Amino acid sequence: MAGSNGLHSFGRRYAHITGWGKALPDRIVTNQELEQIVDTTDEWIRSRTGIQQRYIAVDPRENAVTLGTRAAMAALDVADFPVSKLDLIICATSSPAHIFPSTGSLIQDALGAARAGAFDLSAACSGFVYAISIANSMIVAGQAESVLIIGTEVLSRLLDWSDRNTCVLFGDGAGAVLMQASPVPGGVLSTVLGSDGSGGDLLAVPAGGSSIPATLETVASGQHFIKMDGKAVFRFATRVMVEATREALDKAGMGIGDVDLMIPHQANERIIRSSMKQLDLPDDKVFINLYNYGNTSTASIPIALCEAIEQGRLHPNDNLVMVGFGAGLTWAATTVKWAVPGAREVPRWRYSQRQATYSLARVRSRLLRYSRQVENSLTSEEGDALGDVLAQRIEGWRKTREE
Ligand code: COA
């Protein structure tokens, strides 16, 4: 933009969260129900983790794509943002619908976000904060105006429901935020990303990838289920949550006293409380909702963010810290200056308009598939053979004309 002195003045860009949404499967599974499945008790689960219930996708039609799409639609509704203008979709997930295509691409198709790039981000439970970091960099660098970030999980399909060490801990769900470029100072202030792959074996799904491909044996021995050394992960988590939070605050030029709200990854209440103690953060500055959801991996922070907003725990100009840890091992933290007021009133017709866009997206997807099939059949061997026959006939007809 040319300034009054004829020089170009390039204003700084900031990445703000402008929309948020969550989606959950219908079925709630309580600790008491788990008592019927494995050798556990409600008392053990509550006292060791804080979890009381979790949502589980029992409907086989529900998966990381369907939940992620619903959460994304909710976030776009809050921001009142047209899907046609989306630049990028980052889908953080530990339970993708497939190894490929990416869950992000399938969500892009379901939304009809025709202009958007899309990919999956694999950093386990730290994935959502990793995605915020990438979205922030893209927006600040001027590479994107709007980025939709989704954390979506159906971890219940990767759980061994006879292993009490893991099956009581996790839940299904999805959360999403829309991030947009703005000249208003605030939004993402700092990010910290970390990884220590030497601890990769502490929390893993051993088989099903290229290192141990799925075979009858791997399936029979349950190697495609989540395996975890709970105690080692616990020790790692309590250390990195504190370190990453301090580092992110330091990078933003803030101290612990500046924090208005911390939203930690919702894995275990004891991990969160240990971090709060070390950081000297009181109860009213930390948001915990794992009681109702269990550990939903990449979805835990955005689901908690939605609830914190619904409960009026975030106000304009608040300093928000989000911090996660997970398999990899990975960790990540971000500080955000919250700049948007609560959810805006969006006229009903705009909501209906967006629903119509999603119906059109389904038609668009079918048409694209159909046109690809037609194209394939025309260029396939049969198509070639048909082409040969036609060419011979035309040649024959030309010869008879010449004679
Ligand atoms: N019900 C009853 N007993 C259980 C149980 C369950 N659901 N799960 C494990 N146990 C038993 C174990 O078999 C073990 O028994 P043993 O001592 O006879 O071998 C005992 O409880 C383990 O107890 P303890 O070691 O004191 O548990 P803990 O305090 O370490 O808690 C975890 C276990 C898993 C809850 C805890 O270590 C944890 O949360 N770790 C981090 C996991 C995590 O967050 N993972 C996701 C990261 S994103």
Domain map of the chain by residue range? Answer: 14-337, 366-403
Q: What is the pTM of this model?
A: 0.91
Which atom number of ligand 1 is nearest to the Cα of residue 233?
41
> How far is residue 78's CA from residue 392's CA, in Å, rounded to a whole number?
61
The whole-number pLDDT of residue 347 equals: 82
Torsion of CA 82, 83, 86, 88, to 10 degrees: 150
CATH number of 14-337: 3.40.47.10
- Cβ burial of 153 (10 Å; 0-12, 13-18, 19+) is buried
Q: How does pLDDT run across 5-40, given as a tens digit for each residue?
A: 333 335 899 999 999 999 999 999 999 999 999 999
Residue 178 reports pLDDT greater than 90: yes
Mean pLDDT along residues 277-285 = 97
Residue 394 reports pLDDT greater than 70: no
Q: Is 119 in the pocket of ligand 1 (CB under 6 A)?
A: no
The whole-number pLDDT of residue 398 equals: 58
Q: What three-state secondary structure class fits 158?
A: helix
The whole-number pLDDT of residue 388 equals: 66
| CA 164 – ligand 1 centroid, Å | 8
The whole-number pLDDT of residue 343 equals: 56
Q: Say how many C-beta atoms besides its own lie within 10 A of residue 333's C-beta.
A: 31
Is 295 catalytic? The answer is yes
In the predicted model, what is the mean pLDDT of the chain? Answer: 92
Is 125 catalytic? The answer is yes
> How far is residue 206's CA from residue 298's CA, in Å, rounded to a whole number?
19
**C-alpha atoms less than 13 angstroms from C-alpha of 63 in its C-beta half-sphere:** 13
Q: What is the CA radius of gyration of the chain?
A: 25
Specify the range with the lowest mean pLDDT, choosing from 7-21, 131-145, 316-330, 381-395. 381-395
Pocket mutation for ligand 1, best pick of 39, 234, 266 (most atoms within 8 Å of C-beta): 234
Confidence label for 377 from pLDDT (cuts 50, 70 and 90): confident
Q: Is 295 in the pocket of ligand 1 (CB under 6 A)?
A: yes
Which atom number of ligand 1 is nearest to the Cα of residue 34?
7
Q: How does pLDDT run across 362-374, given as a tens digit for each residue?
A: 999 999 998 888 8
Residue 402 reports pLDDT greater than 70: no
Tell me if 136 sits within 8 A of 74, measured CB to CB: no
> How far is residue 121's CA from residue 100's CA, in Å, rounded to a whole number?
12
The whole-number pLDDT of residue 345 equals: 74
Pocket mutation for ligand 1, best pick of 165, 235, 273 (most atoms within 8 Å of C-beta): 165
Q: Is 230 in the pocket of ligand 1 (CB under 6 A)?
A: yes
Spatial CA neighbour of 150 closest among 211, 226, 94, 221: 94
> How far is residue 321's CA from residue 313's CA, in Å, rounded to a whole number?
13
The percent of residues in the chain predicted with pLDDT above 90, rounded, is 84
Report which of residues 278 and 393 the model is more confident about.
278
